[in-house]
Structure 1
Amino acid sequence: MAALIKSQTSSKASIEKSYENFKKSPKDRLAKTSYLQTRLDILEEQWTLVTETHRKLSMEGSDAIFETKYFKEDIFSSIEEIYILYKSDLKDALSLLTPAASLPNEAAKNESNVNLPKISIPIFSGMYNEWPTFRDMYVSLIHTNASLDNVQNMHYLKGHLSGEAAQLLRHVPITAASYQDSWLLLNNRYNNKKYLTNGLLKRFINQPNIGTESCSAIKEMLDLTNDTINGLKNLGINVDTWDVIIIYIISTKLDSESRKQWEAKISAVDELPTLNQMREFLESKFRSLEFLDGKQRLKPNFSNHKPKAMHATATVSNVTLESCIFCKQNHRLSNYKEFAKTNYDARFNFVQTNGLCFNCLGSKHSSKVCRSHKKCHICKHKHHSLLHPNPKPTSGPCSSDSQKSLLVSEVNAMVSNVKASLDSSESASNFTSHFSKETAPNQILLATALVESRARNGYTHLFRALLDQGSQASFVTESAVQLLGLRKIPNKSIISGLGGDNTSVMASKYIVMMDIQSRHDPSFQVSVRAHVLGAITSLLPSEKVLNFDWPELNNITLADPQFHIPSKIDILLGADIYGDLIREGLIKGPRGMPTAQNTALGWILSGPTHQGKSIQSQSAHCHHNLIVSSHFHNDDNELLKKFWEIENYFFDTKILTKEEQLCEDLYEQTTRRDASGRYIVRLPFREDDPKCKYGNSREIAIKRFQLLEKRLKKDAELKNKYSEVIHEYLDLGHMVRISDDDKRKHVSVYLPHHAVIREDKSTTKVRVVFDALCKGNNGISLNDTLMIGPKLQQDLRHIILKWRMHPICLSADIVKMYRQIIVAEEDVDFQRLVWRDSPESEMEEYRLERVTFGTASAPYLAVKTLQRLAIDEGSAYPLVAEKVKKDYYVDDLLT
């Protein structure tokens, strides 16, 4: 810590001195662009070091660090202020040297005063398809600019490269002599006509087929065609005679309806169609589809097909269905009966392998960001009902699945029995029932109002509330709670609804206290105790109310002026608050029209509205009287027990992400044991060729070690303890010296290391910590390329709670747990380091041959190997194996 603070103080003095010297620079130096640019580059390097050091100090975590002079006097802010002033002066001086274009006459000179947008050159990363655009812009703006010398050109060139292209020139000095060679080197590498042509054609030929008519898909096809043709022409390839080939490729990828229209268009003549005709067809096609889509968004287009009376259905709309990935037909996977007939394991593996959403079975998103509000019909958790886990069969009289179903039924029955005895924390919820009829002339309005609520930061937010006197409690959505910054109070409550069956049992885990104000009466404010739910209901009203004509509304102030437009409900105000809102005043409209009731929030509307048209489906929102059990009496212990049995069942069936499953598979396929029984593991890299090895980390590790040496030189006791730890690594064989032949291996990563002092530890007060987060000069660290693996153990609080239940408790830990596991020979060169006992000695290189603390995958590899040991040796020591699986938290045993 002291070394880092001293580094910051030294950096501040260095920047201040450089700034003072700059102010004293003679005019002839200030007239040189290269002089100013070099100073600016050095300043940026110093600032990068300052920000990185400040980040490390801030992450130190101890209270003592924030009591130092560095944080009390805010040294970082003072360095930042000097940096801003210095950089501003440098940029101002550079701008004065920018040559202005001489104009032929005064009129043209006046026109140049227009502030045109700055032209930015794209960064070239080494991708072949990016080269033509970068080359053309760079040549036109920089390479052929007569006002720039080669030193400036070299600065601009290296400043616009990244990735592989930057690596190509990383050791080339910024001089006038090196510019032409560098530009030639890039041209020879990336101006490869064959690669560029293959890339354009591959992208064009491999574009996906269009399944159904879509304006966006056809527009993308047209744009890709034009881009390919222009790219080939730019490479000097004559494509004038390619029309037949390009038209054939495009037509094979069109949807069936568009292809029929194209064939009908060209069948009138015997001549071959031209590419311009195909372009005109695609242009007119997507424009007509855009026009039709726009009309459909304004006015729903219902088909004339009449559903059977009372047949369950969803609201009809002309939506393009995505192709079923199981059979490639035009329907949703969730509706395909053949998929539903397969067993659970097959369905689960298919969804996971194809990266589908576990909630709606859709593609291109995960269940975490799924917008569907539907949940499993069996357990109400966020996964599709087809993916509800089937427990393995047992030897008992009934399967685990039937036991869980029976358990749910028992809980629902017990909820019904205790409703009458519970008289606190009453709550409400709503359910949406979808049914179809031959005709549905009326839309039912529910009472909604706009209310204001003040957030913790002082800002006032507007929410849409549903007023429901049939609900015994109030609710608020999780999104509204997050926006207002409300404190959530843990309060597990069971919410039961209509029918008392499985589908009408919900759970709320929190309550909040919030204040709402009226938009029309500033003096009205009421405090609401609300239960937190993910969502309260679907959009209300379910459809836009059209042709609404009621003259009485012109003379009253509505609580929700947009009552006729479907919108989200953020708050439900139940009977616990309803009485505080009602005011004198009631207006009853004609038969078939809603009723208006005066409230403190304004006039609310509820009841039927005459739509005057036939529609295919209707959503009726039924708000039923519900009871929330927010606490349990002694008679209800069995209910609480069974409820948590259901909850715990789903904790044991965690669904892994694609990366977590890949990490698990890699471990199972590559882990082995040596002759002594010790486990040998591979590092779980995200890709076969980790980019971290190309970051020249050796130079960074050496510089960091030299800083460590200076720190150790000032503290003899720390140096002795640090050396003891390093030599312990060597004596135990956990670290070995690298031979001269191995030093020349290119595939290697060097880890910087430093000391962490823990005075609270009774054993090892000094630890050597390896910095696997240190990025190479390509911006990638070892940890960036490693998978962290899935969570394998229970939360610590669960283990401690179980531990407290025993009359006699035992605690122990595994000595050097990580270092008991060997890293495979293929991966040890990703864990190199440098060390020497004294500055006078030659720098030696070593590699760590055990799982290393500080790497992202170390916790997973250690815990997974411990559990693997319990499995492998469980038959000989069954009791020990059970404790290892359930009572360990990393390396600590609590049993």
Structure 2
Amino acid sequence: MDKLFRERKSLEPRIKQISDVVAKIKPEVAVEVDVQTELDALAEVWTGYCAVHKKILDHCEDDKAYEDAVHRQGDFERCYISLKNHLSKLLKAVKNREHVTTSSSSQHDVIKQLADQQTEFLRMMSINMATHPSLLGNYLEWQSFFNLFDSLVHKNPTLKNSQRLYFLKTNLAGEAASLISHLKIEAANYQPALQKLKARYDKPREIANQHIKRFLAQPTLTSSFEHGLRSLHDVSDEVIRALNAMDREDRNAWLLFILSEKVDPDTKQLWCQKIAEMEEAEITLECFLKFVESRSFALQSAQPAKPKTSVPFKEPSKPQPQSRGSTAFVATNPPFCNVCSKQNHHLYQCGKFLHMSFNNI
């Protein structure tokens, strides 16, 4: 019994210590974790006291000892309940205060975020968009346009998708603008609009072909002058840098483009249809040469066979009977009149002969 009495006596000061700590806690500055720690310690002391009290009651041999144990347990329980109620109210007050503080802080953060978005939107609106590249529908414009749009608008965390779509549509013109003109400026339409533009213009092979075509289309200089040489340098340097950035500076890209421009229109159309269904890595110079060879064999096999020419049998013709002809002699000498001895008329045209009598002839 003495051991149990000593164990019970050691628990009674602990509740006094907890009470002294709680008395120093101020609700306006208290932290939830501190109050909860004292509550947990109080529950531990109460659990230990109840276990010892039960053992003491089991070992009591007379009524006086039993009543004394019950009386001491009642005093301890009143202190425990009072202290627990105080800590519970204090914990509730702290939670309410932190909730109000958190709500105010959240509202402040939301307001600040909206203000930042509005400020950024107005800043973007104030930018002279004419100084930035716009997409008109040319493959060569896509890379520079999207790189700038991606850094200024797409990855800007302060902008909403509806605002991003606004800046996207205001920087399009021509064919590119028509492609997404049916989409309203709503947050849900931003990603579909961007995907439509990527599907149309984000074609690395076509972009590379356009660069090579621009390079090869440079005119041959017939005389030395500053503008022509500078243009030749600038265009060449720009094309080479663009191809290097796309990782398409190898000779296969050049040879494939040049050879595809050499074939006839029908063959080129079939080649374009073929590569439209192929993966990018499968489109190589060897693949093109195999296609051309297969195309030549197909054209050779499709040619119709030339028919053999036969000479039709012809019966020998019978000889036609020769007809006897008559010979006429025409006088070619000039007319001559024997009466008047003149050569300008015949005798029957002579006036002198016509007036002669029968006896004078």
TM-score by length of 1: 0.15
Which structure shows the higher helix fraction? 2
Which structure shows the higher strand fraction? 1
TM-score by length of 2: 0.35
